[in-house]
């Protein structure tokens, strides 16, 4: 006889296990582990209560050594390696009000100047 395990309910996910349509807080569509590389920057997301904050890191920040053209996977890996430090800088800029509003989120840009 198989016993079906019920998944642990996370507080940020809808309560769909009951089947009655009751929902809790809606899970954000922004995955905090998501990383994207496009338009000359690598990006990841932070949250502050209900506010989503996108952090755009210039590719020059991630590519300190001169060399051949880098791939998207290279920049993703570098961003993941330095994410903690970059998130700290982004949070300080966010608290200081150094961000801009976009459609559904705030954007904090990190340049080489911020790390000097």
| Sign of the dihedral defined by the CA atoms of residues 60, 62, 64, 65, in that order | negative
**Tens of pLDDT, residues 33-48:** 788 898 989 999 998 8
Please identify which residue in the block is written with the tokens 């998207």.
Answer: 72
Read off the pLDDT band of 52 (50, 70, 90). Answer: confident
How much is the pLDDT for 29? 57
Query: Are residues 45 and 34 in contact, defined by beta-carbon separation less than 8 angstroms?
Result: yes
Please tell me the pTM assigned to this model: 0.69
Strand boundaries in 5-113, DSSP class E = 35-38, 41-48, 51-58, 100-101, 106-110
Q: How far apart are CA 85 and CA 30, in angstroms?
A: 20
Tokens of 107: 């954007």
Tens digits of residue pLDDT in 65-84: 777 778 898 999 899 999 99
């Amino acid at each position: 006889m198989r016993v079906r395990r019920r998944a642990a309910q996370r507080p940020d996910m809808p309560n769909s296990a009951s089947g009655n349509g009751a929902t809790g807080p809606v899970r954000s569509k922004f995955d905090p582990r998501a990383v994207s590389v496009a338009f000359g920057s690598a990006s990841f997301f932070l949250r502050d209560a209900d506010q989503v904050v996108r952090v755009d890191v210039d590719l020059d920040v991630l590519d300190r050594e001169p060399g051949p053209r880098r791939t998207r996977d290279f920049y993703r890996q570098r961003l993941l390696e330095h994410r903690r430090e970059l998130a700290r800088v982004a949070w300080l800029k966010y608290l200081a009000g150094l961000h801009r509003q976009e459609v559904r989120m705030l954007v904090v840009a990190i340049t080489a100047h911020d790390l000097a």
